[in-house]
Amino acid sequence: MKLKKRIPVIDQGNSLGFWGGKFGGNFVPETLKKPIEDLEILFNKLKNDKKFISERDRYFKNWVGAPTRFVKLENLTNHIGGAQIWSKVVSDANGGAHKIYNATVHCLLAKRSGKKIICGDTGAGYAGKMLSMAAKKFGLKCKIFMGAKDIARQKPNVKAIKKNGAEVIPVYSGSQTLVDAVSECMRFWVANCDTTAMCVGSTVGPAIFVRICGWSTSQISRELKAQLIDEFGSIPKKLKLYNCVGGGSSSFGFWNEFMDYDKKQVEFIGVEAGGPKKSKKHAAPLTYGSKIGILHGAAQYVNQNSDGQIEETESISAGLDYPGISPLHCFLKDTKRARYTAASDEEALSAYKLVTKFEKLRPSLEPSHAFFVALKEAKKLSKDTIVVINSCGDAYKDRGILKERLGKKYVKSN
Amino acid sequence: MLNPISVAFKKARTENRPALLTYTVAGDSSKKQSLDILKSISKNTDILELGVPHNTPVADGSQIQTSAYRAIKNGIKINDIFRIVKDFKKFDKNKPIILMGYYNMIFQYGDNNFLKKCKTSGVNGLIVVDLPWPENKDFAKKCKRKSIYFIQLLSPTTTSKRLKKIIQNSHPMNYFISMLSTTGGKLKVSPREILKNYNRIKKINPKKEIVIGFGITDKTIGKLKSADGLVVGSAICKEITRCLNSRQNPVTNVGKLVRKLKDKIK
């Protein structure tokens, strides 16, 4: 299995949509074959269309707020005493997380295809919040599927979704988290694909959704590349990019523009959710060696039992609480371009405490996983190493959990 | 030897009626009860569809989901399903059985192992909901080598060009999804419209048996009689749930429901 140079990774799948011949594909009911093919034709045309790209860039700049900040975390750097620690503050984006890029592009595509309704899944609530924002902006009706457990633990985002005029549909089946929300959303699309567009909230699902999402979030690394050159004159000789990985949309977007660099120069480190220390359950299929299986239309490494039933996950962060992982990351793992590891719930919380103690930055529980591993490794790295962590979400949504686990003083009001 | 599925269609045709296909989830609500249900409906149904329960089903509505979750919770495993098929065939060896499920379960078992087990336990056909054409080409070939029908799904969204290709490559039986819906949705298209689509498909190759499924109940089945076969699934799963909730016997009640369905298409 080999990663090709000078070809975007999203376009490296074969004719059936498999990366490396075995990850991804289109394991979908017959009814979805036609709407998926229509979306493929539309996207393949528009992704090279100059007018469409400039329309996208205009919305990213004026509405999403590009570029998001790239800042040095001076206090943390001094405290850790190793590599230089920087952060790409993607939570600056309109709405407070990277999910806005994919949501915007899906709404632009829905408009072009003449669909009036858009449906989407959400875990932490960010994908749902952003889709509801974008739908409102572009005049589309919006339905958001969310697990009942996640509705209870991510209330601020649920409120925001409703405020944007979208309908929140609670999902009570299975574990009542993201995995069930995605299933229910796909079922809704099966029954309504003639009038409704679907937005899958991460780089998961049938191949076309993986590609659209990866294409959209790549905005992050396009900005970062320019910012690095601006700051250092060129891409640093030792650069390490840390990102949390749930479905994998922010990490893929954070890395994409640096794909062709040698990994000795630009290393990618993906941090999965290891779950509670005392629990056997986790959301880290790459770290803990899960087998390849099929989930939500794509072949990927996925937590499952020997019969092929998808296993329940456990993580403090709703956004990472997914048993599978993007086919793109399976491909990056097996081609050894990226390295994957996990942080536990407790480790993510400790990193959150440390970051908020030293910096004016408030990463949500998802990027706190990446911060933990980055800060741990930065200690042992030379001063000329540049460590960048994608702070891809803001902790406002986590205030309930933070209050419960860390006490009142860690909850700042917005 | 002719596949018992084809024999069943022939028999129904001589009786001037469509074949009746019933769907139940294997292991719902227990291994024993699901076998007893098969036995109790056997004489009034032509082909038995047995669902392999999966916990992330992307095409099933709430009735079948409820049955599937119940079966999984009660511990059903793939090998138990093969055992149910084998035990049933001891009771009625000529009644055709089709397994219906999602590809991950087959993939984890291994294509070849799975088909070998199908053969030895007496499975006659397979429907794999999330393995569409052309992705299913290789798997369908493997089925053919074991004389097991791989049943292609056709939908109202399937384009004419695609329909022709799928049917050209298909085994003797195919399954037409009546409308845009998950299983068990309310029939939102008129039976006339469904039959119009059905006839369009049938004309491509009249020799292929085409069954219609999704949204068919005892209320609607009579209006679709001109098809080669009709599948009832969610309505049966719903009856099992109703019986369990009201402490009635699912075995006798599902038996009665299937007899009623049969009466409607005579």
Q: Residue A254's domain is classified under what CATH number?
A: 3.40.50.1100
Last residue of a domain, one of A185, A214, A243: A214
Q: How many domains does chain B have?
A: 1
Q: Which residues 5-44 of A are in CB contact (within 8 Å) with B? A: 16, 25-35
The answer to whether B58 contacts A194, with C-beta atoms less than 8 Å apart, is no
Using an 8 Å CB-CB cutoff, list residues of chain B that contact chain A.
54-61, 65, 69, 72, 77-78, 102-109, 129-135, 152-159, 162, 177, 180-182, 185
Q: Is residue A349 part of a domain?
A: yes
What is the count of structural domains for chain A?
2
A377-412, pLDDT tens digit by residue?
A: 999 999 999 999 999 999 999 999 999 999 988 876
Sheet containing A167-171: give its strands across.
Answer: A167-171, A141-147, A117-122, A196-199
Residue B62 lies in a domain: yes
Judged by CB atoms closer than 8 Å, whether chains meet at B58 and A183 is answered as: yes
pLDDT in tens, chain B (266 residues): 899 999 999 999 999 999 999 999 999 999 999 999 999 999 999 999 999 999 999 999 999 999 999 999 999 999 999 999 999 999 999 999 999 999 999 999 999 999 999 999 999 999 999 999 999 999 999 999 999 999 999 999 999 999 999 999 999 999 999 999 999 988 899 999 999 999 999 999 999 999 999 999 999 999 999 999 999 999 999 999 999 999 999 999 999 999 999 999 99
Do residues A132 and A46 share a domain?
yes
3-state SS, one letter per residue, for chain A: CCCCCCCCHHHCCCCCCEECCCEECCCCCHHHHHHHHHHHHHHHHHCCCHHHHHHHHHHHHHHHCCCCEEEECHHHHHHHCCCEEEEEEHHHCCCCECHHHHHHHHHHHHHHHCCCEEEEEECCCHHHHHHHHHHHHHCCEEEEEEEHHHHHHCHHHHHHHHHCCCEEEEECCCCCCHHHHHHHHHHHHHHHCCCEEEECCCCCCCHHHHHHHHHHHCHHHHHHHHHHHHHHCCCCCCEEEEEECCCCHHHHHHHHHHCCCCCCCEEEEEEEEEECCCCCCCECCCCCCCCEEEECCEEEECCECCCCCECCCCCCCHHHCCCCCCHHHHHHHHCCCEEEEEEEHHHHHHHHHHHHHHCCCCECHHHHHHHHHHHHHHCCCCCCCEEEEECCEEHHHHHHHHHHHHCHHHCCCC
- Judge whether B49 counts as a catalytic residue: yes
Q: What is the pLDDT of residue A414?
A: 46
Query: Distance (Å, rounded) from C-alpha B60 to C-alpha B65?
Result: 6
| One domain for residues A191 and A289 | no
Three-class secondary structure of residue B99 per DSSP = strand
In this prediction, residue A412 carries a pLDDT of 63
Residues A205 and A274 in one domain: no
State whether residue A67 sits within 8 Å of chain B by CB.
Answer: no
Overall pTM > 0.90: yes
Return the number of other C-beta atoms located less than 10 Å from residue A198's C-beta: 27
Closest residue in B to A297 (Cα) is B130
DSSP conformation class of B133: T
Q: In the prediction, which pLDDT does A175 show?
A: 84
Q: What is the largest CA-CA distance in chain A?
A: 58
Sign of the CA dihedral running A21, A27, A30, A36: negative
Assess contact for A211 and A204: CB atoms under 8 A.
no
The answer to whether residue A160 sits within a structural domain is: yes
Query: How many other C-beta atoms lie within 10 A of the C-beta of residue B219?
Result: 10
Q: In this structure, are A74 and A161 located in the same domain?
A: no
Q: What percent of chain A has pLDDT over 90?
A: 96
The whole domain housing B113 covers 4-261
Q: Over chain A, what is the mean pLDDT?
A: 96
Same domain, A157 and A191: yes
Beta bridge partners of B152: B174
Task: Name the domain boundary from A214, A244, A259.
Answer: A214
What's the mean pLDDT in A48-56?
98
A328 and A253 within one domain: yes
B214 within some domain: yes
Residues 256-295 of A with CB under 8 A from B: 291, 293-295
> What sign results for the dihedral spanned by CA atoms B21, B25, B30, B35?
positive
Contact A33 B154 (CB under 8 A): no
Active site residue B60: yes
Q: What is d(CA A377, CA A222) in angstroms, rounded to the nearest whole number?
A: 25
Cβ-based neighbours of A355, under 8 Å, separated by 6 or more: A73, A76, A361, A362, A363, A368, A371
Give B-chain residues touching A191 at CB under 8 angstroms: 180-182, 185
Whether B22 is in a domain gets the answer yes
The separation between the first and the last C-alpha atoms of chain B, rounded to the nearest angstrom, is 28
* Structural domain contains residue B115: yes
Q: Are residues A190 and A252 in the same domain?
A: no
CA distance readout (Å), A202 to A205, A207, A282, A328, B96: 8, 12, 19, 11, 42
Residue B73 lies in a domain: yes
Asked, for residue A69, whether it belongs to a domain, the answer is: yes
Give the per-residue pLDDT at B51: 98
For residue B191, is it within any domain? Answer: yes
Q: A399 and A301, same structural domain?
A: yes
pLDDT digits (tens, 9 = 90+) for A300-315: 999 999 999 999 999 9
Residues A185 and A50 reside in one and the same domain? yes
User: Count of A–B CB contacts within 8 Å?
Assistant: 113
Bridge-based pairing state of the strands A239-244 and A266-275 = parallel
Structure confidence at residue A89 as a pLDDT band (50, 70, 90): very high
Residues A46 and A188 in one domain: yes
Please, which residues have CB within 8 angstroms of residue B179's CB and are 6 or more apart in sequence? B156, B185, B187, B188, B189, B194, B214, B215
Range of the domain at A349: 65-96+218-410
pLDDT classification of A85: cutoffs 50, 70, 90:
very high
- Nearest by CB to B55, from A32, A186, A310: name it: A310
Same domain for A312 and A392, yes or no, is yes
Cβ-contact A159, A144 below 8 angstroms: no
Domain shared by A89 and A52, yes or no: no
User: CA A16 from chain center: how many Å?
Assistant: 24
Task: Give the mean pLDDT of A210-225.
Answer: 98
Contact B197, B163 (CB under 8 A): no
Q: Which residues of A touch B78 (CB under 8 A)?
A: 307
User: How many angstroms away from the CA of A265 is the closest CA of chain B?
Assistant: 39
State yes or no: pLDDT of A21 exceeds 50.
yes
Residue A21 lies in a domain: no
pLDDT tens digits for A99-144?
A: 999 999 999 999 999 999 999 999 989 999 999 999 999 999 999 9
- In this structure, what DSSP letter does residue B21 have? E
Note whether residue B266 is domain-resident. Answer: no
**Rounded mean pLDDT of chain B?**
97
Domain final residue, candidates A214, A249, A279: A214
The reply to whether B110 falls in a domain is yes
CATH code, domain carrying B45: 3.20.20.70
